[in-house]
Amino acid sequence: MRKLLVSPLCLLSLAAAAFDTSPWQYRSRIQPNDDPASIAVVRLAPEVYVRARRDLADLRIVRGGEEVPYLIETLRGSVEDHELEPAILNKSIAPARGLQITLDLGGHLKHSRLRISTSETDFRQKVRIETGDDNRRWATARDDGYIFDFSKGDRHVAMLSVDYPVSTRRYVRATIFGWTRIAALGRAWLAYHHEQGAERDVVATVAPERTEDVKTKSSILLLDLKQAGLPHDRVRLESRDAPFYRAVELEASSDQKNWQYVTSGTVYQIEGESSLSLPFSERHDRYMRLRIFNGDDRPVQVSRVFVEAPARLLRFPMSRGAGDSWLYFGNPDAKPPAYDFAALLARQAPRPEARASLSPIAANPGYRPPPAPVPPWSERHPQLLYATLALAVLVMGYVTVRFLMKVTRAQ
């Protein structure tokens, strides 16, 4: 029975023919540790990302001249995300405070974010969030939240949500300070968002280039990752300033000329609590531009920005005594591989795993660039093409003249 269990993994490393590594530009030797194991686990490094295809479809593991199957695991973790629109029990103006609403979830569901809609523009209002079980006694969940809307020319930025510690209390009361019109508030939602188990790598650490925009009362931080191709889906700020609670906007560019909106959100740092990260869908641009809206507050000083991506692991079967294992990459024409390794692992008992590492990346000594494309025959022999066209024109002219002469005689 033991032989039957092991044999599928051993067979995975067999290939029909020696693997041709000549189309791959780079390689790195995989260095296993001394622990005996059936499966090796390698963490991909930023140096691989910038030289491989963005979809990583050109990664190949070669051992003893033969291709070895692998799988890529992205450690994004799990995300629990839901939003609902609870009943509004009360909407009123609290004297000397502002607009106040009470929301009834109808049960003890988890919630950690208030989001509203409004027709108001150009504002920055403080928000207090309170929670309770009986709609009479209230506990403060957040006393320093802000909602924000800014319009200037063709620029419009809005942040109409406030996060607070996770609660399961049935009732939520929100006070928007300074608003004196009930009609200013349209609708309101409560949401719960929780990310668990994600593991991230810092792909770049940037000391931002800073400028101040007096018109918009904002600080602009230019982030240069020094190279394109690095995957990233979150930026994390490092600041010793406190307390602050600011709306932010993030843009990206490949050339510092054409900028694309990426996302917006809030960053804050108060006593005992902070949220200095801004997540977004994965990108590969070299430049990012982070705008921090300060209003009339003192600008927040940011010393460093960490650019992060979810960690990615390579898993592949080990084979003792079969020679070194190499990771090859840098082949834009490679087709995505198709292995049954992942399916076999899922259907077998857990195998022992051991961590391995990548040696410094080097050029593949056996790399052979693809031959230059052969131009079409017409481009290689333009003189013959022109001669053929000239002859065709002469023949058509001769035929036309003969035809006109026949018509003239017939008249």
Sign of CA dihedral 229, 232, 238, 241: positive
Same domain, 250 and 355: no
Cα–Cα–Cα angle for 28, 325, 357, rounded to 5 degrees: 55
Same domain, 45 and 102: no
Beta bridge partners of residue 66, listed in sequence order: 63
Same domain, 163 and 130: yes
Same domain, 88 and 187: yes
> Cβ(86)–Cβ(113) under 8 Å?
no
Kindly report the CATH number assigned to the domain that includes residue 287: 2.60.120.260
- Least confident range from 23-32, 149-158, 194-203: namely 149-158
Q: What is the b/e burial string over 316-328, where b = at least 16 CB atoms within 10 angstroms of the residue's CB?
A: bbbbeeeeebbbb
| Domain presence at residue 251 | yes
Both structure tokens of 90: 């009360």
* pLDDT at residue 68, rounded to an integer: 94
Final residue before a domain boundary, out of 196, 216, 240: 196
| Domain presence at residue 375 | no
Beta bridge partners of residue 356, listed in sequence order: 32, 42
Rounded to a whole number, what is the distance in angstroms from the first to the last CA of the chain? Answer: 103
pLDDT (tens digit per residue) in 110-169: 999 999 999 999 898 999 999 999 999 999 999 888 898 887 767 788 889 999 999 999
Burial of 147 (0-12, 13-18, 19+ CB in 10 A): buried
Final residue before a domain boundary, out of 178, 196, 214: 196
Which residues fall within 8 angstroms of residue 135, CB to CB, at 6 or more apart?
89, 102, 104, 170, 171
- 39-43 and 353-358 as β-strands: parallel, antiparallel, unpaired? parallel
Same domain, 301 and 354: no
Total-model pTM: 0.77
Whole domain around residue 65: which residue ranges?
2-75+311-363
Same domain, 222 and 157: no
| Domain presence at residue 267 | yes
- pLDDT at position 34 over 80: no
Cα separations (Å) of 375 from 23, 277, 297, 386? 22, 51, 63, 17
- Cross-sheet strand order for the sheet of 200-206: 200-206, 304-310, 232-238, 277-283
Reported as type and span, the H/E element at residue 192 is strand 185-196
Same domain, 355 and 293: no
Which residues fall within 8 angstroms of residue 42, CB to CB, at 6 or more apart?
30, 313, 314, 316, 327, 355, 356, 357, 358
| Domain presence at residue 368 | no
Sign of CA dihedral 397, 398, 403, 408: positive
- Least confident range from 23-32, 240-249, 278-287, 296-305: namely 240-249
- pLDDT at position 406 over 90: no
> Cβ(239)–Cβ(317) under 8 Å?
no
Reported as type and span, the H/E element at residue 378 is helix 377-380
Final residue before a domain boundary, out of 196, 212, 231: 196
- Residue showing tokens 């499966």: 39
Map residue 363 onto helix, strand or coil. strand
Reported as type and span, the H/E element at residue 32 is strand 26-32
Same domain, 166 and 181: yes
> Cβ(245)–Cβ(266) under 8 Å?
yes
| Domain presence at residue 266 | yes
Same domain, 87 and 173: yes
Query: Residue 13 — very low, low, confident or very high, per pLDDT cuts 50/70/90?
Result: very low
CA distance 80 to 388: 70
CA distance 223 to 239: 16
**Cβ neighbours of 389 (radius 10 Å):** 10
| Beta strand residue intervals within 153-184, DSSP E | 155-159, 161-167, 171-177
- pLDDT at position 7 over 50: no
| Domain presence at residue 261 | yes
Cα separations (Å) of 61 from 32, 260, 312, 332? 14, 36, 15, 16
CA 34 to chain centre: 35
> Could you check whether the bond before residue 36 is cis, i.e. omega within 30 degrees of 0?
no
| Domain presence at residue 109 | yes
pLDDT (tens digit per residue) in 359-405: 999 999 999 988 777 677 666 667 776 777 778 888 887 778 777 77
Which residues fall within 8 angstroms of residue 397, CB to CB, at 6 or more apart?
none
DSSP output for 251-304: EEESSSSS-EEEEEEEEEEETTEEE-EEEEEEE--SEEEEEEE-TTSPPPP--E
Same domain, 38 and 87: no
* Arithmetic mean of pLDDT, 285-312: 94
- pLDDT at position 21 over 50: yes
pLDDT (tens digit per residue) in 305-324: 999 999 999 999 987 666 78
Same domain, 216 and 264: yes
- The domain tally of the chain equals 4
Same domain, 294 and 191: no
| Domain presence at residue 257 | yes
pLDDT (tens digit per residue) in 77-106: 888 889 999 999 999 999 989 999 999 999
